[in-house]
A and B are shown apart, each in its own frame.
Chain A
Amino acid sequence: METDRSAADTAAREHRILTRMLADCDDLCRSGDMLLSAQYRHLRGRIAALVELTIPLREAEPDA
């Protein structure tokens, strides 16, 4: 049980980090450099997917 709690805490922490990264990436995507912002959108897609893949599994677990 202790291990489950610890794993859930770690997962929630990683999900929060990814959510912050997504917000930062959204800022980057507003870059005026079209070549760079295209790549930021590429990166944003990957991070958005990881936010999805690390979604807390139980409703009671802390979300982002």
Chain B
Amino acid sequence: MIGRAQGRSHVAAPAAPFADSARLAQLAALSRDELEALQLRRLRRQLARLAQSSPYHRRRLEAARIAPDALASLEIFRARFPLSTKADFLADQAEHPPFGQRLGIPREQVALVNMTGGTSGQGQEIYGRSQHDIHLQGYLHALPWFLAGLRPGDVAVNCVPAGGMTTGGWGPGEGLRIVGATAFHIGGTLSTDAKIDLMLRIGDIHFIYASTNYLHTLTEALLRRGLEPRRAFPAMRTLFIAAEGYPLEWAERIETLWDCRLQEGYGSTQCAGFGASTCADGVFGRAGGRGLMHMFEWETLFEVVHPTSLEPVSSGETGELVVTNLAIEGSPVVRFRTGDAVRFVSHRDAASGRTWNAIECGTVGRFDDMLKIRGNNVWPSAVDAAVFSFAEVAEYAGRVYTSPDGKTEVEVRIAFTEGAASLDEASRERLREAVRGTIKERTNVWMTVVVCARDQLPEFNYKARRWKDERQQGYRL
């Protein structure tokens, strides 16, 4: 089994967050009963506020016959309060644009607007955050990074593109300011080689935040230039990844190349930042194998349920993550079905010394068939809609893979109908380019479109399985 326990002592131990923060030490010392009492207290307050301020949530409270102040237990809340889905939110927004009746604060108090990607083909959820929430979103980035070893005065490199409409575009900047780090937000603005040039000029860098794929790209580019990351950046203490899964062999190689710990977080717009992280432990379990991301349960109420029965799953089982914000006041989610598939590990089995429940590292997936591609949520249905908007296309197949130079690439092979197959070369090329442009328009991702013969693509007799994700096979350094 792969893991730090297998004699990989070269990776330095990270800082001790529970020694450096009395607040974190107190949270770590809570008994499970105390933690759940804190959740219930904050939940009552959140629901009482929403009963006054949000017709969307008030209707759900009434349907559940829950009087917030009299809510006796978390079990009653879980048993009675209706779940919400993306479709519910989109319907609410359509009826009461732009924020819907779930907003929960006066519109003039919205200080930051975040939206989900919009590549589902269903529409974009819109979230209106208050000044209070902006700080909390920053805190929910600062928290996992502090736990992972980031400290005031450290130099941090943020490889995730900043700004725009996403939570991930704004939370990292706030988080790094809250910690007091000197931050270089290089994501999206420079080529990888230009980023490396800048990083070499900076010198002592202590922390990198990047998507899994981008950390791979960066590492591969350093090696291609003959630079050993551990020698080029000897002060590096923490590599923090999110958003995409990875094989453990890759994680081990990354830690060896950089000579520091790889840490991971789980986050989303609905969580208003990160909801769980490896804390200081890294992505390997103590006995080898995959490590755990411990959930920040005092800020967000998490449930992991079976996607069909909606009953809570047992420790060790995979289920759908359902989230409730305990403190976010603008567009909070209450029992929202994320669609994210996570392997749940009870605090009893997590053996972390804390009473926080956990989810497994490196394996967060989707119950629908969404693909995370270069930071975009891409649903095959959106590509279906783009490709089949051309009557000349008979079938297609998609493949996401890691190229030899470490980049996430997408190949779409299309086959024309018999009629279109007889078009002249120039017309076929124009058609191919038009398909490519339409896919980009619908998904925000440029894909390579290749024309092939119809018999090179499979026939689907039941549900079409047009997509293959081969990225993990490509993470080789």
Contact = CB atoms under 8 A, between A and B. Distances in A.
Interface of A: 4, 7-8, 10-11, 41-42, 44-46, 48-50, 52-55, 57-59
Given A45-B130, A52-B132, A11 B23 contact: yes
Contacts of A48: 131-132
B372 to A, nearest CB: 29
B26 A55 contact: no
Contacts of B156: none
Interface string B27-42: 1011000100110011
Given A52-B327, A53-B139, A59-B37, A4 B29 contact: yes
Interface of B: 22-23, 25-27, 29-30, 34, 37-38, 41-42, 111, 130-136, 139, 298, 327
29 contacts: A4-B29, A7-B22, A7-B25, A7-B26, A8-B26, A10-B22, A11-B22, A11-B23, A11-B26, A42-B111, A44-B131, A45-B111, A45-B130, A45-B132, A45-B133, A45-B135, A46-B131, A49-B133, A49-B139, A49-B327, A52-B136, A54-B23, A55-B42, A57-B26, A57-B27, A57-B34, A58-B30, A58-B37, A58-B38
Given A45-B111, A57-B298, 16 more contacts: A4-B26, A8-B26, A11-B23, A44-B131, A45-B130, A45-B131, A45-B132, A45-B134, A46-B132, A49-B133, A49-B135, A52-B136, A53-B139, A54-B23, A55-B42, A57-B27
Residue of A44, A49, A50 with most chain B CB atoms under a 10 A cut-off = A49
A41 B109 CA distance: 9
Contacts of A55: 38, 42
Nearest to A4: B29
Nearest to B42: A55
A46 B133 CA distance: 8
B29 A49 contact: no
B41 A59 contact: yes
A54 B130 CA distance: 19
A42 to B, nearest CB: 6
> Which 9 residue pairs spanning A and B have beta carbons closest together?
A45-B131, A49-B135, A45-B132, A48-B132, A7-B22, A49-B132, A52-B327, A46-B135, A49-B136
B106 to A, nearest CB: 12
A57 B38 contact: yes
Nearest to B136: A49
Contacts of A41: 131
Nearest to A45: B131
Contacts, number: 53
Residue of B22, B34, B37, B42 with most chain A CB atoms under a 10 A cut-off = B22
A48 B22 CA distance: 21
B30 A57 contact: yes
| Interface SS of chain B | helix
Residue of B26, B41, B139 with most chain A CB atoms under a 10 A cut-off = B26
A54 B139 CA distance: 12
A38 to B, nearest CB: 10
A15 to B, nearest CB: 11
A10 B21 CA distance: 12
A47 to B, nearest CB: 9
A58 B34 contact: yes
Contacts of B37: 58-59
Contacts of B131: 41-42, 44-46, 48
A42 B130 CA distance: 9
A1 B245 CA distance: 41
A53 B25 CA distance: 14
Contacts of B111: 42, 45
A46 B25 CA distance: 23
A36 to B, nearest CB: 15
A4 B135 CA distance: 27
Nearest to B29: A4
Nearest to A51: B132
A7 B23 CA distance: 8
Residue of A10, A11, A52 with most chain B CB atoms under a 10 A cut-off = A52
A30 B139 CA distance: 27
Contacts of B26: 4, 7-8, 11, 57
A6 B26 CA distance: 11
Residue of B25, B34, B38, B131 with most chain A CB atoms under a 10 A cut-off = B131
Contacts of A45: 111, 130-135
A60 to B, nearest CB: 10
Contacts of A4: 26, 29
Nearest to B31: A58
A54 to B, nearest CB: 7
Contacts of B130: 45
Contacts of B139: 49, 53
A11 to B, nearest CB: 7
A29 to B, nearest CB: 11
Contacts of A10: 22
Contacts of B136: 49, 52-53
Contacts of A46: 131-132, 135
